[in-house]
Each structure stands twice: as structure tokens, then as C-alpha cells.
Structure 1
Amino acid sequence: MKILLPDTVDLDPELPEGWEAVVVDAREEIPAEHHDAEVLVVWGASRRHLASAAEHLSGLRCIQSLSAGVDGILAAGFAPEVAIATGAGLHSLTVSEHALALLLSLVRRLPECREAQKRHEWSSELGGLQPLRPEGRLTTLLGARVLIWGFGQIGQTLAPTLQALGAEVRGAARSAGTRAGIEVIAEETVPSALPEVDVLINILPATEQTAGIVGREVLAALPDHALLVNVGRGATVDQTALREALEAGALGGAAIDVTDPEPLPREDPLWDAPGLLITPHAAGGRPVGADERITRNLRALVEGEELLHVAAR
């Protein structure tokens, strides 16, 4: 029995007796000698690779993605009996870390400090004696009202760190309640909550329902000093509306790790929006605990147990 591992990350899962692991090029078609594979691990796979797998791996039983999002896999046309397990949770620590870095960069005005450094300028506006809460600007997380929209594992990992820095954190998800000790509001109540939000952190997935959901109405509902951080998916934000809000001073600043499309074209005016920090989808990219997840789900497959984080189809 064979499991195919991608060459895009070093992996060494523990295999059940009788299983063989083969590393294949995740950008190319799967070689004919490996069309007998029963499990395929996906990380950074090209459309060509996925299409080849869907067409030729007739005995495929399970796909283990190392990404939380599996849109590309679902679109490749795999047989309905093939289980697709997501990498949910493998990026919670790294994405939370990056989201925090983006937010603190905005709050502490690090991009402006960097520009002052380039000018060899010791800015009295950026340093020295400062009010804790100046009018019209968010300069501390102490008492900051943070709403994390898309309150899954990443949000639940990030929230306690924000709380430790003094922020008041709530989540927003499909249903209201309490998760990981954090108050969660139903997503239909988000618009009414936005006027009292200082920081909106977007960790929403890309779906038909979330396409452009952070648009003009959402941005207009936020206070002018509010900050937006997007470590979800680029398609969830109306980028034209975001640029216009920043240009109009209707938003205190934004930091985005994702865009639509990716890479963001060099000529896109979003690059030059004032108060915007862009990183090149750098939040994840390093699945933490991938070997353990593969080992666990492969064992479950062999023993006929339930797989972790199977995507709905």
C-alpha cells in the first residue's frame, strides 16, 4: 500500500505496517508507476498535479491536505468516495503569530517608523511623550475592542494573546455562544456590532457567501480610527472599497496578508493605498504538526475509524 508525499515540505510520518511512502513532484503529473497509491498528501500542489491524481489514482481512498482550505482539491474532480481531510489547525500558531505582528505594526506605527529611518529622521511625532489614547487614532491594545470574524481554530489561538495584551476580544461565527472562553456573536449581528469595534480581524474562508463581504457597508460601519487585519482569504475583501476607505481617511489603517488575485499585480493601485501594510501570503506556509496529522489519519483509515477534519462535499 502506498502513500504519496509532496516534495514541497519535508515529511516523515509513521506508517502502518505494509505501507510505503513515495515523494513526488507536487507541480507535475503523478508518474504512472505510482497510480496505485491509496493516499495522497497535498501541499502546494499545482492544478496539473491534482488533475493527474483525480484522473489516474483509481484506487485512491483519502487525500490529506496540509492546508485548511481545500477549494482546489474539491474543484479537481475526485470521485465522491475519496475522503478529503483538511489541514485545519496546522496553521493556527503561525497565522496567529503573523496576525499579531501585522496588528502591532499598525498600532505601533512601525511602517511609518521605517520610513522615518530611511530619511534618517528622529520623529517627535512617532516617539517621545505620547498620549495613551489620542483622538482619532488607535495606539494601544489596552482596552481595544477586537472582533475576530471567522472564529475557528486560528481565532481561538489568537484571542488569548490579544487578551493578555489588554484587548477586549469577541468572535463572530455562524452561531452565537462561547468558544474557548470567548464570547462569540452570530455573523448576522456583525453589522450592528461594527460601530463599537476598534480592530476587525478577518479570518474568513473564501466561499460564495463570503465573497467581498468586507465591503463598503462593513468598512463604513467601522469607526474612522478602526484597523482592519486580513489573514483569511483575499476574495473576502472588496479591495476597491478598502483602498477608497483608506484614501478618504475613513479607516485608521489596514494590514493584509492575502489579496485577490495573488500575486497582486504590480500595477494594482492597492499597493499605494495610504496606511496599508501588505505581506505576500506569509502568515502560513509552514504546517505545524503535519507528520502527526498524517500519521493519525492514515492509522484511522487503516483501522476504519473516523478521520480528523474531513471536508464536506
Structure 2
Amino acid sequence: MDLRLMVPNTLDGRFALPQGISAEIYDVTAPVDARLEQADALVVWGNSREWVRSAAQRMTRVRWVQSLGAGAEQVSEAGFGSDVVLTSGAGLHDRPVAEHALALLLAAARRLDLLRDAQLRHEWSDRGGRQPGDDAPEFSTLRGRRVAVWGFGGIGRTLAGYLSMLGADVIGIARSKGRRDGFDVVDDADVDALLPTVDVLVLALPGGDATRRLVGADRLALLRPTAWILNVGRGTVLDEGALIDTLRRGAIAGAALDVFETEPLPADSPLWELPSVIVSPHAAGGRPLGYAALIEHNARALLGEVEWRNRIVRGK
């Protein structure tokens, strides 16, 4: 009898699975049912955290869980047994998230948000026509500007390449210093000395206790008044209360945010109305490119034919 792989209805389900494994579709909005309880493997995409926790409790036969998310926390914190292999979607979101981050940075540089506001008011914005050039005090171009990318994994390195092509001076921040993909990388110990020199701080960090509110009032205070901050990692990395206070005082120029401490962003959040904030509704990801090949590869790993790809190491 074939091993049963349960695939969510958020995917098209067309995979070239190896002989010995068959796929069945399940509804991510329906409770975990008897079919899932008898399954050998599970793909997670678009499921709620509560659903995944329920699956961890009820799927006693499952041997492998494939998340298509870039991060590992949804499945690693769900409670699956230590004998269950967990794999992530690392790498599937590098280009989509990096492209969205680039779009937000260009929108911030050219203040497309203010132009859109003026359009809705049927006003000809004063941001047209002749503008400051090389001596512009504000962040208005990527060329020649220093961009620090904190979290220099696949997404950060992909974004760094895009920024470099547009003339930005990119420096990475990671747990270990060195040189990666042609870019200088500093470690966490050098961050506070680096922040006063940057025009843009990009956060592409994972969630978890180690990164919770890593950027708070003290670090925001180190940024230039003309600096922007961009977050496409996890909302918990940035202290929103401190950010709101910093923006209200004009201590930094603005923030482009795709992720938030609470999602959806509450209707009463000041971030909606602050004129120096661009809000994006966690839209950078959501497009796992190459997911079919990843699932097909790890299905073969389940059969012992190849090594696992993107295996999550428990406890990290």
C-alpha cells in the first residue's frame, strides 16, 4: 500500500511523486479528520497555527511534515513528536520577498504613498518637477546610499543583489562576520556602531525569542533622522510602540512595514495614519516558487532514496 501524503487545497496538487507515495487533497479550513489521522505525511500551507497544533496531536502515524513557509516556527512549535521529520520552505520565498522589499524601498525613496494620497485628493503634488539632486538631505534614491540588511540569509542576499544593481552600498548583518556573495557582513556585536551610518535598515530576520524586539527604542535612536526602516521578516523583531514614538517625534524619516506584532494590523493602530509609514499586509511572501520540486524531492527522502532538503533541526 502506498504511503499517503496529504496536500492542502491551497496548492494545485499536481506533483510527480515517486512510486510508493500517493497524494490526497485536504481542506485547510476543515477540522483534522480521519483521513489525516491515518496519513503518513503532511504538507502545510495556508493552515492556521491552531490547525497545525491539532494535527500534531491527532496525526499519530505521520512521519514527515513539509511546511512551505520560509520560517520553521509554525511546525516546529506545533508539538509533533521527535520522530517526525520536519522540513521548511526555506529558499522558496527568496525572490518574491526580495522583490517586494525592493518595491517598498523604491516606494519610500520616491514617496509613492504621498503621490497616491495626492491623487485620491485630485491634487498635483509638489513632489513633482525640480527636486534636490546630489545634495538631497532625505532618502530619495538607492544610488550611493548605504543599506544595512539584518538577516543575511537567502532573502537578504537576494535583496542585496537587487540593491547593488541599483547602486546602493549594501552591508549585511548576521551571526557571523565575513564576506558573502560579494558583500561585507558584520556580526551582531557591530550593529550599534553601524546603525548611525546607514540610510536604510532592512530587517529580514526570523521570529522567536532570540530576535524578539531586537530593534527597540535604543537602536532606533541610533539611526539618522533621514533614515528609513523596512521590515519583511517577522513583526516581533521590531518594537512597534518604540517605533511609533520615534516616528511621531520625527527622529527617523519613515518606515515601510510588511509584518507586524499583531496581524492583521488592528484598526486602531497609529501605524495606519502616520504619514511617514507605508503599510503592506504581509504581502511579501505568499508565493512559494519551486514548491513542487521541493515536495517531490522530500517525498523521495521519505522513501530513503535521497537526503532530506530543508530539514528543521529541533531546538533551533
User: Residues 133 and 139 of structure 1 are in contact (CA less than 8 Å); yes or no, is this contact kept in structure 2?
Assistant: no
Partner residue in 1 for 2:140: 139
**Normalising by the residue count of structure 1, what TM-score does the alignment of the two structures yield?**
0.96
**Partner Cα distance (1:287, 1:265) in 2:** 27
User: Residues 29 and 48 of structure 1 are in contact (CA less than 8 Å); yes or no, is this contact kept in structure 2?
Assistant: no
**Partner Cα distance (1:47, 1:173) in 2:** 28
User: Residues 9 and 28 of structure 2 are in contact (CA less than 8 Å); yes or no, is this contact kept in structure 1?
Assistant: yes
Distance 1:197 1:239, change over 3 A: same
**1:53 has 2:55 as partner:** yes
Q: C-alpha root-mean-square deviation of aligned residues, in Å?
A: 1.4
Partner residue in 1 for 2:202: 201
Partner residue in 1 for 2:241: 240
Q: CA deviation at 1:134?
A: 4.2
User: Residues 13 and 25 of structure 2 are in contact (CA less than 8 Å); yes or no, is this contact kept in structure 1?
Assistant: no
- How far does the alpha carbon of each residue in 1:242-268 deviate from its partner, in whole angstroms, 9 at most, with x for none? 111111111111100011110111112
Residue pairs, 1:1-313, within 5 angstroms = 1-123=3-125, 125-313=126-314
- How far does the alpha carbon of each residue in 1:59-118 deviate from its partner, in whole angstroms, 9 at most, with x for none? 211111000123222222110011110100111111011101111001001111112222
**Partner Cα distance (2:13, 2:280) in 1:** 27
Counterpart residue type for residue 227 of structure 1 = W
- How far does the alpha carbon of each residue in 1:165-197 deviate from its partner, in whole angstroms, 9 at most, with x for none? 110011100000111221111122111101110
Q: CA deviation at 1:156?
A: 1.0
User: Residues 149 and 156 of structure 2 are in contact (CA less than 8 Å); yes or no, is this contact kept in structure 1?
Assistant: yes
Q: CA deviation at 1:14?
A: 1.3
**Partner Cα distance (1:179, 1:293) in 2:** 25
Q: Higher mean Cα deviation, 147-156 or 7-16? A: 7-16
Counterpart residue type for residue 5 of structure 1 = V
**Partner Cα distance (1:52, 1:223) in 2:** 46
User: Residues 146 and 167 of structure 1 are in contact (CA less than 8 Å); yes or no, is this contact kept in structure 2?
Assistant: yes
Aligned residues: 312
User: Residues 11 and 290 of structure 1 are in contact (CA less than 8 Å); yes or no, is this contact kept in structure 2?
Assistant: no
Runs of 4+ in 1 over 6 A off after TM superposition: none
User: Residues 151 and 203 of structure 2 are in contact (CA less than 8 Å); yes or no, is this contact kept in structure 1?
Assistant: yes
User: Residues 13 and 23 of structure 2 are in contact (CA less than 8 Å); yes or no, is this contact kept in structure 1?
Assistant: no
Q: CA deviation at 1:135?
A: 4.7
Counterpart residue type for residue 60 of structure 1 = V
**Partner Cα distance (1:140, 1:292) in 2:** 38
> Which sections of structure 1, spanning at least 5 residues, go unmatched?
none
> Which sections of structure 2, spanning at least 5 residues, go unmatched?
none
